[in-house]
Amino acid sequence: MKNGTFHIKLTEAIYNSQACYFLHFYSKLAEETIIDKLKCLQWSDEHKQYYLVQKDMSLHVLFSELRKLGCYVDYSKIKKKTRPKREQIKNPVQLPKLTPRLKYKLDQFERWMLEKRLSKNTIYTYKGVTALFLRYMQLKKAKEINALWIQRFNHDYVIVGDYSVSYQNQCINGIKKYIDFCSMDVDFELLERPQKPKKLPVVLTKEEIKTLLEVTHNIKHKTLLAILYSGGLRIGEALAMHITDVDSKRGLLFIRNAKGKKDRYTLLSIKILDLLRHYYKQYKPKKYLFEGQHGDRYSNASARAVFLRSIKRAEITKQGITLHTLRHSFATHLLESGTDIRYIQELLGHKSPNTTMIYTHVTESSLKKIKNPLDELY
């Protein structure tokens, strides 16, 4: 680490016929933190490193994302023609430091969010974006928060800085939460949110899931992937699961404190019970179902690396595959087998049925029922 930040080195190479940036981490903590935050990164078995396809994200935006995560980036190995100019990697506007009064107010805001039981990631994000907004208000010598100043901050900092749509929405959410904390009356109707691109989830076939598990020889890794698919779990839910959360007699998995602070039950396939027993006898986890080397929770980065290695061994070449693809596949396969969408909503822990409805657009059985008009011509 350097000056209290994560130290990362960037290199570039051609991989799978595409120009890519490769990230070199100088500590396990840096790797796990950055990989957990930057969902766009992929694992290369050949290079044993995480990488990003250059056409998917400009170097300037990559720098901005890494800087937001507190990274010192060594880009000396990047070709000069693609190296960002000095002024490009600075913030779009130079913001002053917060006054002691606003720092104290921001700390109060953090404690308020803790009392509201918001997740650690949400608190970290909301506090960070609110600090940027308050610094912007200081720069402009604005006396009160209103929708117009939020719009100006959105343009001068987020749009000019070429930040992502997701980050823009995070800024708005964080500022709104701060306004709620301050009990202010601000009209947000004039504040338009950017629309995220609506992409259909990538889904694996049942045959691909079977192959994926067959090529995963390590029993711990196989059990993790099987549990994710069997219960339609988010990776965080699986890694937070305790040994006692497996109800083998009822064929259920107990998911504690999931998204939205809700507990729920989901399915446990009876066919992986033997796998679970063999795994337990061999690894003897003490608290968490999946533990790291020192008895703590298994890391997201390790789980992601395991999954990507198995995907490569299974020779599955679909684009955009992540651990979350197993959850998408679980929901889609249930829907194709005739399971009521309301049950699927409960199993997945979706708050709204509209979230679950996306799977109706990707089910193979539904599409096969539609008669193609070309078929009627012959």
The answer to whether 242 is a known catalytic residue is: no
The catalytic residue among 221, 304, 333, 350 is 350
The catalytic residue among 135, 234, 304, 328 is 234
CA distance 221 to 218: 5
The catalytic residue among 135, 221, 327, 328 is 327
The answer to whether 264 is a known catalytic residue is: no
The answer to whether 220 is a known catalytic residue is: no
The answer to whether 234 is a known catalytic residue is: yes
Spatial strand order of the sheet with 246-247 comes to: 246-247, 252-258, 262-267
CA distance 278 to 369: 42
Non-local CB neighbours of 163 within 8 Å, separated by 6+ positions: 61, 64, 157
The catalytic residue among 9, 220, 259, 309 is 259
Residue recorded with tokens 């979706």 = 350
Structure tokens at 334: 């249930």
Structure tokens at 187: 């009209």
The answer to whether 324 is a known catalytic residue is: yes
Helix axes 206-214, 324-336, angle to 10 degrees: 140
Strands 18-25 and 49-53: antiparallel
The answer to whether 221 is a known catalytic residue is: no
Buried b (16+ CB within 10 A) or exposed e, 187-196: eeeebeeeee
Structure tokens at 233: 């779990």
Maximum CA extent, the chain? 78
Helices (H), 182-218: 206-214
Q: Are 168 and 133 in contact (CB under 8 A)?
A: no
CA distance 174 to 34: 21
What amino acid is encoded at 149 in this protein?
W
Which residues does the annotation mark as catalytic?
234, 259, 324, 327, 350, 359
